Every structure is written in structure tokens, then in C-alpha cells.
Amino acid sequence: MPNPSRRDCAVDRRKFIGAVGAAGVAGFAGCLNSLPGGDGDGEDGIEYWTLFGGGDGDAMESMVDQYNEEHDTQINRQRQPWDEYYDKLYTALSGGSAPDLAIIHTSQLAAYRDHLQPLGDLIDDSTADDYVDSIWSMTETGDDRLALPLDTHPAGFYYNKDIFEEAGLDPESPPETHEEFSEACDAIAENTDYNAFGPTPYGGFELIRTYFMFLRQTGGQLLNDDNTQAAFDTDTGVEVAEYLANVSGEWGWDSPEISDNRWEKEFRSGQLGIIQNGTWFYGVAADADFEFGMFEPFVYPDGDEEYTWADSHTIAIPRDPDRSEEETQGALEAAIWLTQEPDTWGTEAGHLPASESILESDELRDTDVWKKTLSTYYEMAQNDQLAYQPRIESMTDYQDPLWENLAEIYSQNLSPEEGISNAAEEINSTLE
Amino acid sequence: MSETAENDGLLDALPVDEGTVRTTGLYVALYGAALLFLLPYLWMLSMSFKTEAELFAQEPHWIPSEITLEWYEIVLSESLVLRWTVNTLIIAGVTTFLVLVVDSLIAFSLTRLDWPGQNAVLAIIIASFMVPAYVNIVPLYTLVADLGLISNFSGVILPLTAGPLGVFLLVQFFQDFPEEIEEAARLDGFSTFQIYSRLTLPLMKSPLTALALFTFVTSWNQYLWPLIVLQEEVAYTLPIGLVTLSSNQVFQPGLMMAATVVASLPLFVVFLILQDHLINAVKIQGTTG
């Protein structure tokens, strides 16, 4: 090591400290200045959180753009990741940096009850009249009106017309009764190389939807009236589980494997006859290489009642003590506009709008999406055939034990009796 | 038996000894293992160029029969991906710089200086390894919120600079730094700070590079903490932003894979630049440990 003179050292040390200091300051200044909103509480506009990606995200983007063009007050739409949306919203609320508007599923309203601005005093009956009655009443929790419904997104059964034809079925008359449904599935299983029926599109979790709709069709319930106990641990509940077990077992309509997105992949590649999926599936199915159709899922044997699983997106105003009355009013007006004015949510995203006037508009009724799927969904909504899952503060308390056991039943690892009683036991011990 | 004899005969005929065979076997095994590690990345690349029809085809194809740039176009045109890349670079870069400065100062002070309670401080730092990061999230969030750093890059960067791993790693290396060199430098008139800045830092380039790379990668990939702190789309880092592109209810493997390729490319470049130093750091650790 060469021996540096003291003078060199001193210069180098100063240089070093200077460099470190400058770089540090520059770095921090860069960080602090690189954000337009600074601390992000959106003083100049309406801070609006959504969880929509894909086609839904594009539709919402164009709605917000249209609002911003027509109004002086601007909406700052912040797209949040879907999976962590509710956790993030919760942290933001407890950290005191709540947005002015947020998308909340109806099923989550109970959990956010204390954190949302009640709208009762801010809106009158004429506002309520603008929405479809059944959706409006489904998005109410107790006495509080906490949010305005944007849509409803029920589940239906989508089918591949090519496969129907190959199986010797009439592709233009989908099954309407449970006998016709069984015959169709049997025909597909026997006459083609494809699977006949996927009761879930994405994985174990969505098995809940088919289980729930079939359960309600036979008059069963998931939870008791005050949501303190499982109510599906009955003969009916076990029979519905047995039906699902037969789909992947005895009847050979599907294979007993649960893996992520298996059914959606199979359906999109033309390897699955019928799939349970929601309104949002329209765009995807329309892009496929084959013709598809959709029918009402009222096919459970002995099902005296006609119900399908449904949920809604709503727009709510999270509580914020720092927000002025004027700002709250502005946020509310934006929420009313978003749920009432643009027809984009129906025409582009394929959900069933909650607004009466949009539903009756020619713009929506002339679209393909209306003809192929939305009209059927609309009929179900008009006939009060939408079943919303019981809302409790933590939905996972009953959803997780139920779907995990349903998945075991579907994979033929557990008998329906065992799986259902396991699920009920777990749920009861959590809810108590 | 006869087969073995035949094989022996074959080997005898070739001008190879046992050593060569062993080396060849070793290389075959190593390259085989490397290929196994590479497979998921190749599959990612392959999927990102496939058309939707082929993505959903029943039989997997390694090489797409028709190459499409559709997914990359969506990622690049319909998102703030450039902004997110810059954000991630700023956050990862500043974090790495701060970690190097702070951790090396702490490690130097713990190993090369004398002050009471050194061992206790080191013990506390090492003990903090035992606390899972998730435990800290709630108190840390309240702290960051009280400081007004929500949706601010400093709120993401500062908590990472206080990690124990860097200190622990550098302490191990700084301890092995020969006393004699330090004494010689002192006789030549070096001050303590000069020993730190002109002797220790240059000689510890390899462990510092390893720490830098490690910090950079961790910071680049972190998801949960920036997700909580950053609330505006323009402020997102790549891992968060790319997740907002996909829809939960519609499965789009091509889009996800293209997004993943875009997100991992900068890291790949960083690794290529630093790989010599990284290998050196590992070698040093192996021979002096």
C-alpha cells in the first residue's frame, strides 16, 4: 500500500464525505419530489380506489375519463391489486389516509360498516328509485345505506355449442330442467372425449358458488338467521355435496382434480362442455374459437326454488374526519354519476348495471353482450332469483372451512358426510 | 456382468483416465442441474410469446408456432410500466446505497473500535434476526403514517436500511481484516475514518458487492411493504403495478408472463454487471470462514 501524504488524505476525506452527502441529499430529494400528490390525500380531486384489472379495469378507466372530461372536479382513479385490496383499504383507513370513494363488494359491506360514511341523510328516495329494486335492497346492511350499487354479477352456466353438437344435443336449446341437464352432461361424457361440466371455473374456492346456489335451490341456507352457526349440516346440505362428488366421481362428468384455472383453461380451449362462471366471463367466452351460449343454473334435482349465486360491486365513501361536507357531497355526486350515467360497465365490462335507466337504454340492449348473456341475467334479477351469501364481518370465517372441505369432497378424498360435518364444526367453533 | 465387461473394454480403448471420467460426470451433472433451474425461465419466455389459442392448448409447446408480441404490447402500452421501472430503480438504488453506508459504518464501529457494550449491541442486532418481518408491519405502518410518509418513497426505503443482515455479514468480514495492516496505516498517520474509507472499504469490495446485490434484489422484489405504503398508481413499484394489470376473474397467462419478463430484465442486467464480484465474495467466504 503506497503511503499517501496527509494533504491527499484530507482532500480525499472531504471528497468522500462530500460525495456521500451530495448523493444522499440528491437521492432523497429525488424521492420526495418524484410524487405528484406528495402525501397522497388527494386534496385537488376525488381519490377513488378500484380493484379492477383486465377488461373491467379498461371499462372503469374510460368511465372515469368521461367523468373528468365533463366535470371540473377530477377523479383520481387508483388501481389497487385485487388480492390485497381489502387488506390495503383497511390499513389505509386505520392509517388515516382513506380515499374519498372506494369499490366494495356487497359481501364485504358488513366488515367495513364502521368505516363507511352512512348515506341515509345524504340521499333521498328518488335516488333509490333509479336502481333496480332487488339489487338496491341487497346492498343494504341493516338500517344503513352504506354504498351505491354499481352492478350485480350473478353466476350462470356457459356452454360450448360445438361440443353440444358433437354430443348429439341441440346447441340452440340449452337444458332447463335437472333431467335435461343430466342428459346433456351424460351425452357429452359418453359421446365426446371432453369433460362435461365444471362446477367451478378457477379452483376450489369457487365451488362455494355452485354449492351455495344448489343449496338455496333446495331451500337450504349456509348460516342460520343471525349468522352465528352453520346451517348446511343437514341432509339437504350433504345431498348437495354428494351431487358435486358425483360430478367428479360416479357420473364421470369431470375428473376429480382441483388445480388453479383448470376448468377455465379447458373451456377456453374447447375441452369442456359446461362451466359455471359469472357475468364477467362474457368477453373471454366471446373471444374463443367456438360459439358459446349461456343458461340459467336452475338444474338441481328437487330444486323447488330458483336461485343463483350473486354479488355486487358498490361504490362507498370511506369515513374521513378531515373531509369537509362539501367534499363528501362532491364524492357522493361522483358516485351517483358513475353508477347512473355511463353504460360502459354493461357494454364493455359485461356486468349487469344496477341502474334502471341504463338497463332500459337502447345502447345497452342493442349490444351482443345483452343478447347473449345480460338479458338472461336481467331476467333473474327481475325475478328476485339472486342469492347473496350471508354477510358477516370476516367472510373467510365460514368461506375457508367450507371451500377447503368441498375441494376435498370433489377430489374424492372425503365422503360428503364427513366433509360437510368437518366444515360445519370448524365454522361453528369460529363463529361462536 | 457381460455388459460391464464390455463397458470396461470400451473405456480401456479410449485414452481417458478415471479423473477425466469423474470430471466429465461432474460437468454433466452440473450443467444438467443448471438446465433444470433454467427451465421455468425458458417456459416463462416461451409463454410470453404465445397466442391465446396456443396458451390454452391441451399439449404444451416449447416453441410457439406463431410468435405474438400482443402481451408485451399490452404491458407496455396500457400501463405506467416505464414509470414503475424508474420508481423501482430509485427505491432499490437508494436503499442499496444507504444500506452500504450505514451497515459498513456500524460494522466498522462494532469490530474495529473499542467502546463499552459492543457485544451487547451486536447480540441485539443478531437477535433481531429472530423477529419475523411481518411482526413489525403494524407498528412500522403507524410510525410511517405518523411521520407523514405514506405514499412516499422514503416510507418504503427507510425501514429497509435498518436490516440486521447486512451488519451481520459485514461484521464477519471486518473481523478477519488483519490488525497488522491497520497498525501499519496508523503508523503512517491514518486517522480512524481514513482507515475506514481508504483501507477497509476498498479491501472489502467483494462482500460489499455481495451485500449490494442482495439488498438490491430484495428491495426490487419486495411486495408487501411498498404495497401498504404506496397508494397511488404513479408511485407503484414494478411488482405491485404489474399485478394490477391482471384481472382476478380472467386468467391471462400470456400477459402475466410478459409482465414478469419485463420486471425481471433489469435485475438480470444488474446481476451480469456484478457477477464477478459476487463470485469473489463467495470464494472469500469459503476460504477464510
CB-based contact, A77 to chain B, within 8 Å: yes
Q: Which is higher by pLDDT, B266 or A399? A: A399
By mean pLDDT, which of A283-287, B30-34, B35-39, B83-87 is the weakest? A283-287
Q: What's the gap between Cα A168 and its chain centre?
A: 35
Rounded to the nearest integer, the mean pLDDT of chain A is: 89
DSSP label at residue A222: S
What pLDDT shows up at residue B78?
Answer: 80
Q: Which positions ≥6 away from A413 have C-beta within 8 Å?
A: none
Query: Can you tell me the mean pLDDT for A318-329?
Result: 91
How many angstroms separate the CA atoms of A205 and A182, rounded?
A: 24
Q: Which of B55, B137, B247, B256 to mutate to test the interface with A (most CBs of A within 10 A)?
A: B247
CB A311 within 8 A of CB A389: yes
| A26's grid cell | 440528491
Instruction: For residue B77, give how far its alpha carbon lies from the nearest alpha carbon of chain A (Å).
Output: 12
pLDDT per position as a tens digit, A190-200: 999 999 999 99
CB-based contact, A12 to chain B, within 8 Å: yes
8 Å CB contact of B94 and A80: no
Whether B287 shows a pLDDT value over 60: the answer reads no
Query: Can you tell me the mean pLDDT for A149-173?
Result: 96
Whether B289 shows a pLDDT value over 50: the answer reads no
Neighbours of B79 (CB within 10 A): 20
8 Å CB contact of B249 and A280: yes
Whether A143 shows a pLDDT value over 90: the answer reads no
How many angstroms separate the CA atoms of B10 and B6, rounded?
A: 6
- Sign of the torsion formed by the C-alpha atoms of A416, A419, A425 and A429: negative
Whether B11 shows a pLDDT value over 60: the answer reads no
Q: Which is higher by pLDDT, B3 or B114? A: B114
Query: Can you tell me the mean pLDDT for B173-193?
Result: 90
CB-based contact, B154 to chain A, within 8 Å: yes
8 Å CB contact of B198 and A9: yes
DSSP label at residue A389: P
What pLDDT shows up at residue B52?
Answer: 83
Q: Which is higher by pLDDT, A354 or B288? A: A354
* Cβ-Cβ contacts under 8 Å, B222 against chain A: none
pLDDT band with cut points at 50, 70 and 90 for residue A38: very low
Q: Which of B249, B251, B252, B257 to mutate to test the interface with A (most CBs of A within 10 A)?
A: B249
8 Å CB contact of B194 and A9: yes
Whether B259 shows a pLDDT value over 50: the answer reads yes
At how many degrees (to 10) do helices A416-431 and A396-410 cross? 170
How many angstroms separate the CA atoms of A419 and A409, rounded?
A: 6
Count of CA atoms in the C-beta half-sphere (13 A) of A225: 0
Instruction: For residue B57, give how far its alpha carbon lies from the nearest alpha carbon of chain A (Å).
Output: 6
| A346's grid cell | 354493461
What pLDDT shows up at residue A33?
Answer: 45
Of A3, A54, A81, the CB nearest to B240: A81
Q: Which of B244, B246, B252 to mutate to test the interface with A (most CBs of A within 10 A)?
A: B244
Q: Which of B56, B80, B147, B238 to mutate to test the interface with A (most CBs of A within 10 A)?
A: B56
* Cβ-Cβ contacts under 8 Å, A95 against chain B: 141-142, 145, 150
CB-based contact, A56 to chain B, within 8 Å: yes
Of A81, A95, A281, the CB nearest to B145: A95
Instruction: For residue B9, give how far its alpha carbon lies from the nearest alpha carbon of chain A (Å).
Output: 51
Compute CA distances A13 → A16, A18, A266, B12, B182, whole Å.
5, 8, 67, 66, 17
DSSP label at residue A196: E
Percent of chain B scoring above 70 in pLDDT: 92
DSSP label at residue A158: E
How many angstroms separate the CA atoms of A332 and A325, rounded?
A: 10
Listed residue (A213, A187, A166) closest to A380, CA to CA: A213
- Exposed e or buried b for every residue in B23-58, given b needs 16+ CB within 10 A? eeeeeeeeeeeeeeeeeeeeebebbbbbbbbbbbbe
Instruction: For residue B163, give how far its alpha carbon lies from the nearest alpha carbon of chain A (Å).
Output: 18
The pairs formed by A164-168 with CB atoms below 8 angstroms and a separation of 24 or more are A164/A188, A164/A273, A166/A191, A166/A192, A167/A191, A167/A192, A167/A273
What pLDDT shows up at residue A9?
Answer: 47
Strand A101-105 vs strand A308-310: parallel, antiparallel, or unpaired? Answer: unpaired
Listed residue (B240, B238, B202) closest to A88, CA to CA: B240
| A92's grid cell | 389505509
CB A16 within 8 A of CB A24: no
Whether B288 shows a pLDDT value over 60: the answer reads no
This prediction's pTM: 0.82
Residue whose C-alpha cell reads 418513497 in the numeric block:
B153
Whether A221 shows a pLDDT value over 70: the answer reads yes
CB-based contact, A13 to chain B, within 8 Å: yes
User: Which residues 87-106 of chain A have a CB within 8 Å of chain B?
Assistant: 88, 91-92, 95-97, 99
* Cβ-Cβ contacts under 8 Å, A287 against chain B: 52
User: Which residues 198-217 of chain B have a CB within 8 Å of chain A?
Assistant: 198-199
Task: Give this complex's ipTM.
Answer: 0.76
Instruction: For residue B151, give how far its alpha carbon lies from the nearest alpha carbon of chain A (Å).
Output: 6
* Cβ-Cβ contacts under 8 Å, A9 against chain B: 189-191, 194, 198
How many angstroms separate the CA atoms of A418 and B216, rounded?
A: 50
| B220's grid cell | 426490487
Give the residue from chain A lying closest to B192, CA to CA.
Answer: A13
| A139's grid cell | 346492498
Query: What does chain A come to in residues?
Result: 432
How many angstroms separate the CA atoms of A244 and A207, rounded?
A: 9
Give the residue from chain A lying closest to B229, CA to CA.
Answer: A92
| Helix, strand, coil % in chain A, rounded to nearest 5 | 50, 15, 35
Q: Which of A35, A85, A279 to mutate to test the interface with B (most CBs of B within 10 A)?
A: A35
Main-chain phi, psi angles of A385, to 5 degrees: -100, 15
Main-chain phi, psi angles of A105, to 5 degrees: -70, 150
Whether A159 shows a pLDDT value over 90: the answer reads yes
Percent of chain A scoring above 90 in pLDDT: 73
- Exposed e or buried b for every residue in B248-282, given b needs 16+ CB within 10 A? bbbbbbbbbbbbbbbbeebbeebeeebeebbeebe
